[in-house]
Amino acid sequence: MNIYRNLTQDEINILTANGCLAQDWNLIKVTKGFNPQHCHRVSFYGEAHIGSTEGSIEVSDGFIKRCGITNATLRNVRIGDHCLVENIGNYINNVTIGDHCYIANVSIINTRDNATFGQGRLISVLNEVGDGNLLLFSELNSQLAALMVQHGDNKKLMQRLTQIVKDHVEATKPERTTIGNQVRIVSTNEICNALIGDGCFIGGASRIYESTIESNCNNPIHIGTGVICEHSVISGGSKIAGSVKIIDCFVGEACELANGFTAASSVFFANSYMANGEACAAFCGPFSVSHHKSSLLIGGMFSFYNAGSATNFSNHAYKMGPMHYGTLERGSKTASGAYLLMPANIGAFSVLFGKLMYHPDTRDLPFSYLFPHNDTMYLVPGRNFATVGLYRDIRKWPLRDKRKGGERKSCVNFDWLSPFTISEVLRGKKILERLREASGDKVSTYNYHEYVIKAPLLRKGIEYYDLALRIYMGAVLKRHSLTEPITNEGEGNWIDLSGMLMPENAEKRIIDDIINKRLNTVYDIIARFRSIHNNYNELRWSWSYNMICEYYGIDRITEDDAERIRNDYVEARRKWIALIREDAEKEYALGDVEPELFNDFIDKLDHEVDFENQRLYM
């Protein structure tokens, strides 16, 4: 804790000789290590607390400059130890600056009245013209955000959450713009009503207004040239550069927004990457990706999503305004030029092609392809289950998690086959079997709502879904052997709460406990999510044991049953790998894939089969 004192007359004389002036020298307080020789052409207004100006600071790789203050107008400021503040075009007003900071060639750093720093701001996600359903604040994670958005019509829940968040914001909000330790801000135009955490780098930004930049030295944030950030919150490890413009947004951990991307009233979580395009009222859960300038994400909920070029969503239905929205469940993709008319709901790991009308709902047919031909909409059930693209996706996501271990606020579960997706697979298999039973085997096509399924592809879809079931059951049994579940809390329907897989009953208990004041703080709610996430394996086994028994028509799993399940698993996995190999060979035949790349991929497939078979009986 620094001890401050008044300036001595000798120090005032030196400062005056160096071109400094003060409205009242008695309002300037300094601490041990303050050297007036290191201050030149500084105008002091109001109060100032100045730390040590001794030492030096690295302003660029290998470029060391002496600490101090030069060419600056300061009013009501507090500057920590060993900082360099220079060439402030206008002024720094009502600001606290930490230790070891470098601030240069900045026009304005300011605090205006009634600053909120972007905290507690209500925005409308999904329904672009809604009354608001999501509160922005620094501790927000993808689960709490999804809870607000998906249950925004629950007035009791939203009233309690609003109060909890407002209490949290009021308890943690500083009085004025605060810049943390080891922050570098250079060549930036305006910073107003902002909280900037430790280790942050801001270089060439245009405007940061009413925002919180939650950087820390272990997980720093980078904000680059031309960025405009208003009424937004940015989490640790994120990078925003290249004339990005965000208004009323939340940017989660280790996200990157780049190359002119613009967003309004949208949220991005855990390793999402957005470049060139636009987002409006979009909920982008973990690992949402959009690279292309012509892509527009609007009124949709996504996770583990990849947007092709010129992807577009229509949220107005050409009628009563932009109020419609939909969900693309985890792992979905849109091909180049894809268009989806909202409202729509797309099953997990599906792929969309072309202009899709009639508001599709394929949540019970995951891993599907949807595409139009002339005026007919076609559905290929389960096709994506056996593709190289899916195989690569489910392996790359865990490797691309750039979040630091202690900074992972959002709960992200990478299981691609889980009670959530397998529930959809079970329903999908029954739907296809019923369609076949209702229309017989001699028809050429089947109708599912407004979509057409060709007969051979329906039969293939049943095979894909059965492969998925047998692979899942064998993999889960391998982890738990014959031990019976120790809990029944995993039973019932499962949901994917923006990256976190959990029983629906657990979500209902959270909602009930919030409403009835058994969860009273932000940290209480997030801790509950974390507890459920950490108990995923046991909850999954609770659900899976009953599912396995029902599939095989048994009351409990004996050793003989387990042997049968293992054998089915081995056979199903071999078929799945063979289908992926066949898909890779088709792509290789196009002539664009290098032989070394193809052979390396095939070798990994073969190695995986051998490794899985050995590990199964270890």
Q: What is the DSSP string of 3-61?
A: --EEPPHHHHHHHHHTT-EES-GGGEEE-TT--GGGEEEEEEEEEEEE----SEEEEET
Give every CB contact of residue 254 below 8 A, 6+ residues apart in sequence: 219, 236, 237, 238, 270, 271, 401, 402, 403
Q: Is the pLDDT of residue 53 over 70?
A: yes
In terms of residue numbers, what domain contains 22? 1-110
Q: What is the pLDDT of residue 408?
A: 87
Residue 611 lies in a domain: no
Q: What burial class does residue 498 get, using C-beta atoms within 10 Å of its C-beta: 0-12 exposed, 13-18 middle, 19+ buried?
A: buried
How would residue 320 be classed by pLDDT, with cut points 50, 70 and 90? low
Q: CB burial class (10 A; 0-12, 13-18, 19+) of residue 349?
A: buried
Strand order in the sheet with 312-314: 312-314, 339-341, 355-356
State the average pLDDT over residues 537-552.
96
% of the chain with per-residue pLDDT over 90: 87
Q: Locate 239 and state its tokens.
A: 């990078």
Question: Mean pLDDT over all residues of the chain?
Answer: 94
Residues 6+ apart with CB under 8 A from 453: 378, 379, 380, 381, 432, 435, 445, 446, 447, 461
Q: Which pLDDT belongs to residue 74?
A: 98
Name 560's bridge partners. Answer: none
Among residues 572, 588, 603, which one ends one of the domains? 572
pLDDT over 90 (residue 414): yes
Paired residues of 85 in beta bridges: 69, 103
Instruction: Evaluate whether residue 608 is within a structural domain.
Output: no
Cβ within 8 Å of residue 193, ≥6 positions away: 110, 111, 112, 115, 116, 117, 177, 209, 210, 211
Q: Which helix (H) or strand (E) holds 592?
A: none
Instruction: Please write the tens of the pLDDT for every residue from 517-532.
Output: 999 999 999 999 999 9
The domain boundary residue, chosen from 110, 139, 156:
110
Structure tokens at 308: 């092709």
Helix 522-534 and helix 536-552: axis angle, to 10°?
50
Residue 551 lies in a domain: yes
The whole-number pLDDT of residue 272 equals 97
Backbone angles phi, psi at 132, to 5 degrees: 110, 135
Instruction: Report yes or no on 503 lying in a domain.
Output: yes
In the predicted model, what is the mean pLDDT of residues 221-249? 97
Domain boundary (89, 110, 131) is at 110
CA 441 and chain centroid, separation: 45
Q: For residue 87, which of 110, 69, 111 has the smallest C-alpha distance?
A: 69
Residue 494 zone, left/alpha/beta (φ > 0; ψ -120 to 50; rest): beta
For the stretch 328-381, pLDDT in tens is 999 999 999 999 999 999 999 999 999 998 899 999 999 999 999 988 999 999
363 in a structural domain: no
- Cα dist. 16→30, 38, 41, 306 in Å? 16, 12, 9, 61
Q: Is pLDDT of 180 > 80? A: yes
Provide the pLDDT for residue 474.
95
Report the C-alpha gap between 342 and 149 in whole angstroms.
17
Convert the pLDDT of each residue in 62-115 to its tens digit. 999 999 999 999 999 999 999 999 999 999 999 999 999 999 999 999 999 999
* HSE, side-chain direction, 13 A CA sphere, residue 247: 5
The Cα 517–Cα 154 span in angstroms is 15
State how far the Cα of 53 lies from the Cα of 14, in Å rounded to an integer: 14
Establish if 80 belongs to a structural domain: yes
Q: Residue 90, SS3?
A: strand
CA dihedral for 185, 190, 192, 194, sign (positive or negative): negative
Model pLDDT, residue 602:
83
Give the Å distances, CA to CA, from 117 to 194, 232, 291: 5, 8, 29
* Phi, psi of 136, deg, nearest 5: -85, 130
What is the per-residue pLDDT across 286-301, written as a single tens digit (0 to 9) for each?
999 999 988 999 999 9
Candidates 16, 203, 206, 216; CA nearest to 108 is 206
Q: Is residue 240 part of a domain?
A: no
pLDDT reading at 203 higher than 60: yes
Residue 100 inside a domain? The answer is: yes
pLDDT for position 481: 78
pLDDT value at residue 405: 67
Q: Is the peptide bond before 595 cis (omega within 30 degrees of 0)?
A: no
Q: What is the pLDDT of residue 73?
A: 98
Residue 426 has pLDDT above 70, yes or no: yes
pLDDT at 329: 98
Per the structure, the count of domains in the chain is 2
Return the closest-CA partner of residue 199 out of 101, 117, 110, 270: 101
The three-state secondary structure class of 355 is: strand
